[in-house]
Amino acid sequence: MTKIVVVGGVAGGASAACRARRLDEKAQIVLFEKGPYVSFANCGLPYYVGGAIEQRAKLSVQTPQSLNARFNIDVRVGCEVVRIDAQAHEVEVRDAAKGITYCESYDKLVLSPGAEPVRPNLPGINLAGVLTVRSIPDIDRVCEAASGAQTKRAVVVGGGFVGVEMAENLVDRGLEVSLVEMSSHVIASLDYDMAVDLNRELRANGVHLYLQEGLASIEQRANGLEVHTTEGKSLPCDLVILAIGVRPESSLAQAAGIACGPRGHILVDDQLRTNVPNIYAVGDAIQVTNFVSGADAAIPLAGPANRQGRLAAENALGGARTYTGTQGSSIVKVFGLAAASTGLSEDAARAQGIDVDKTYLTQPSHATYYPGAKNMGLKVLWEKGTGRLLGAQAVGPEGVDKRIDVVATAIRFGANVRDLVSLELCYAPPFNSAKDPVNMAGFVAENVLCGKLRQFFPEDVAGLPRDGSVTLLDVRTPAECSRGMIDGFVNIPVDEIRARVNEIPANKPVYLHCKSGQRSYIAYRILVGLGYECYNLAGGYDRWSAVTQG
């Protein structure tokens, strides 16, 4: 009979324990969790603050009693594993409630310690009212603080998933919210050119956004707290939420001689084994391989943690399943928008030395003649020359998850960006268009790769010559142009191109744009057919406007 000890619950650890039981009814399985909750909806915590999740009990996915009743797992909450003796095959456990320390033997050990919120060593960081969000007790403290009669203003530090979700839910709770983020945009997995839509959405819903500013210090004042930023701003508030990021809780592993990476993440092989025999590790505490780039990465997401727990349990029981890497598929709700991404961002691809190409599309969530269609922005990335699909990002009110899930699946199975053309996706007017936005991205990419389309991008616009050496052409309607034009561009609507082609010098390159890039591509093909050298603005006026206005 195999004895499996799991350290840490929630996604990775609880998945490992339950999978082990499903595979081996006779195994002895012990799960230690130092906190009071063994399996809870970590990702749902912000929505309890805002009231979308009304019942606190809904946050508990499993209890020690339910895990024991259904899976015969010996769950011990409030019990912290403080030492691993790999030679003796045992762990030392501190039981807080009983005030005792004892040793527990194991045949196989699965570590799922997770990650803890970063608390930088800054003045005032430990003041009352400066809180983090990781567990149910954490969120209880946030709710208690937010419910105070004097609590009117909150500052959220950090614009990642937790920070943005907390900002939204604190607004929903009735607080005035400021969000401080060191980057130029929120949600680091997105590129700036897509995340700007989220910046605007946050501001439109009353969030005071302080970008490219970090936390310098926090002071206690007579009437509350005051946050000081690295750019000299002072933000009076009653509550501070630290959502700066997480660091792996790997001190237990390091003390046991388990190898860790440069940022403290536990190193595992493709079967999730550490360098110490019979010890596996899963979840936010481990270093993974980025599925797309092959580089070492830390990607703390619940979905991968669950899969890792499942595989580690199987391997602990004699299997040889491999974990093929994490590609970072994720989604976040930001008031009326959703933002999703998968694979590499443009910034990440360039950092890995990949020669990346891209396109932008603005597409409806379903057929426009059926009521309720809403536009989404889609950005797709591929490797120049080869067309290897690298990643995608989408932002919009609806339909975002479906499109990124499709691309995520394509990436997982090694698709080329040209393969997006051939995907046969569900269509009926309430759900889609006959040509899905993912298909449309494939059409554009295919045109680029085979030379039928040359693009330029929002970041190129400012550098275009305005000395008459090129023709800058806006093919939107006069009514659209009356609401704003890019400096230096002249207007000839697409439907007048053929009749007015004599107004376009034949010996100069032509740079075209419309609202989204679709009509200007039609004008592009007309002019190329007449012998012109042309370039089309990817994403059109709307994407350029979003990027330049921030």
Provide mean pLDDT across the span 156-179.
97
Q: Are strands 153-157 and 176-181 parallel, antiparallel or unpaired?
A: parallel
Residue 1's pLDDT is what? 87
- Cα–Cα distances in Å, from 280 out to 251, 271, 364, 541? 15, 8, 46, 51
How close are the terminal C-alpha atoms of the chain, in Å?
61
Which strand (E) or helix (H) includes residue 75? Answer: strand 74-77
Residue position matching structure tokens 């007309």: 526
**Token couple for 313:** 């349990």
Short-list 465, 464, 463, 442, CA closest to 453: 442
- Cα–Cα distances in Å, from 15 out to 314, 325, 355? 11, 18, 38
pLDDT band, very low/low/confident/very high, at 40 (cuts 50, 70, 90): confident
Distance CA 465, CA 462 (A): 8
At residue 63, the 3 state secondary structure works out as coil
Give the chain's mean pLDDT.
96
Residue 158's pLDDT is what? 97
Residue 66's pLDDT is what? 92
User: Could you tell me the strand order of the sheet in which 108-111 lies?
Assistant: 74-77, 28-33, 3-7, 108-111, 279-281
Residue 484's pLDDT is what? 96
Residue pair 117/126 in contact (Cβ under 8 Å)? The answer is no
Residue 149's pLDDT is what? 86
Residue 15's pLDDT is what? 96
What confidence tens digit (pLDDT) does each residue in 237-295 have?
Answer: 999 999 999 999 999 999 999 999 999 999 999 999 999 999 999 999 999 999 999 99
Tell me: pLDDT of 172 over 90. yes
Residue 13's pLDDT is what? 95
pTM of the model: 0.94
Which strand (E) or helix (H) includes residue 68? Answer: helix 64-71
Residue 550's pLDDT is what? 79
Write out the catalytic residue numbers. Answer: 43
Residue 62's pLDDT is what? 87
Residue pair 191/345 in contact (Cβ under 8 Å)? The answer is yes
- In 111-157, which ranges are continuous DSSP H helix? 136-146
Residue 394's pLDDT is what? 98
Distance CA 532, CA 365 (A): 34
Give the amino acid at 466.
Answer: R
- DSSP assignment, residue 464? S
Residue 41's pLDDT is what? 86
At residue 402, the 3 state secondary structure works out as helix
Provide mean pLDDT across the span 435-441.
97
Distance CA 5, CA 31 (A): 6
What confidence tens digit (pLDDT) does each residue in 311-368 have?
Answer: 999 999 999 999 999 999 999 999 999 999 999 999 999 999 999 999 999 999 999 9
Provide mean pLDDT across the span 128-136.
95
**Token couple for 130:** 């400066």
Length of the chain measured in residues: 550
Distance CA 295, CA 326 (A): 10
What confidence tens digit (pLDDT) does each residue in 279-311 have?
Answer: 999 999 999 999 999 999 999 999 999 999 999
Residue 148's pLDDT is what? 86
At residue 57, the 3 state secondary structure works out as helix
What confidence tens digit (pLDDT) does each residue in 447-491 have?
Answer: 999 999 999 999 999 999 999 999 999 999 999 999 999 999 999
Residue 147's pLDDT is what? 92
% of the chain beyond a pLDDT of 90? 95
